[in-house]
Structure 1
Amino acid sequence: MAKRITLGGGCFWCTEAVFTAIEGVIGVKPGYMGGKRENPTYEQVCSGATGHAEVIQITYDDALISLEELLYVFFYTHNPTTLNRQGADVGTQYRSVIFYEDVQQAEIAHQVIAKLHEEKVYPDKIVTEVSPASVFYVAEDYHHQYFIRNRNQPYCMAVIEPKLVKLLKGFRDKIKPELL
């Protein structure tokens, strides 16, 4: 059955590229969530003034991949211990966040975080926000499939490509077969 979760792990160009590669993911849309301004633009969100995070809304088939598995990919492919920052991207718009759709998703998110803490996967505390989903604003068209359309751009080669290599090392069995 198709389900949906919205995740923010820094720049949505990076997270979109990662989750588009995952078997069981039906669709990935970049956008904005968690702020106070209606219909924000990319420039407004980047200013940090709207309160929105850059996010991806993932539609997935839970018969092929569980939310727990998606969250392990999420935590593996970004740094959930840096508050409002991913690499050189700094600001609340780049915060680590899980926007859940129902109580069960919230419980799973908290369980995964607790397990990662218990296993001491990260030397520092996970600061990922777990919040109820709010209005999702789809990003402008030029952000969709950004990596696929711009893979030779320096940002894509320096930031996104290493994330995909890491994904391949840690989750090869979760990658769509046509991408291997």
Structure 2
Amino acid sequence: MSDSTETAILAGGCFWCLEAVFQNVRGVHDAIPGYAGGHRERPTYREVCTGGTGHAEVVRVRFDPQVIGFRELLAIFFSVHDPTQLNRQGNDVGPQYRSAIMPLDDNQERIAREVIREQDASGVWNAPVVTAVEPGATFWPAEDEHRDFYQRNASQPYCQLIIAPKLAHARSAFPDRVSEE
């Protein structure tokens, strides 16, 4: 990998799912679960779960743009969650589970808006894409017990029923980008 890195902040339901997928993407240095887009400093998991802080569960992805670009990260992101569900993903309901891209600069914001328009026009989805673009969000890392959740708990039912299929889909849809390990 090169010495250059970029950072993306993505919200697409439970952060354990996005973390597991992006930890396996070639060119990603790390994927850290956390919270962004709210009005409270240093929120806790318990506070965010109430839906009252305005934060979304997110993953902060540090990546090598010479190996994988922001647009390619977004393609993977859109393939592993349903961007037509407003403030939810499946049984996870509330604004903390919203679909959002939190761009860190003007270029990311431009690309995010383009990709959302492309996803909406693609005909892949049965409803309009509701993914929000929320520039300027501050990232707060999640508590340690939320990090590497899938790696540490792969045999738990939630991991087997929810996370494993998303990871398998990402590997199948992007075999040159998502590793088998």
TM-score interval (norm. to shorter): over 0.9
Tell me the residue number matched to 1:116: 119
Q: CA offset at residue 118 of structure 1?
A: 2.2
For residue 139 of structure 2, the aligned residue among 115, 123, 136 is 136
1:33 maps to which residue? 36
Match of 2:87 among 65, 68, 84: 84
Amino acid at match of 1:8: A
Moved over 2 A (4+): none
Runs of 5+ consecutive residues of structure 1 not aligned to the other structure: none
Q: Which has the higher helix share?
A: 1
Contact 1:6 1:133 in 2 (8 A): no
The one-letter amino acid of 1:43's match is R
Q: Give me the whole-angstrom Cα distance separating, in 1, the residues matched to 2:79 and 2:99.
A: 12
* Structure 1 residues 126-156: Cα deviation after superposition (integer angstroms, max 9, x where no partner): 0000011322111000000000000011100
Match 1:160 to one of 159, 163, 167:
163
Whole-Å separation in 1 of the counterparts to 2:120 and 2:156 = 36
> Within 5 A, what are the aligned runs for 1:61-76?
61-76=64-79
Match of 1:171 among 159, 164, 174: 174
- Measure how far apart 1:19 and its partner are: 0.5
Query: Does the residue aligned with 1:172 lie in a helix, a strand or coil?
Result: coil
Once the two structures are superposed, residues 80-138 of structure 1 have per-residue CA deviations (whole angstroms, 9 ceiling, x without a partner) of 00000001000000000000001100010111111122221212100000011322111
For 1:102, which of 92, 101, 105 is the aligned residue? 105
Show structure 2 runs of 5+ residues with no match: none
The RMSD of aligned alpha carbons is 0.9
Identity %: 47
Distance apart, 1:165 and its partner CA = 1.1
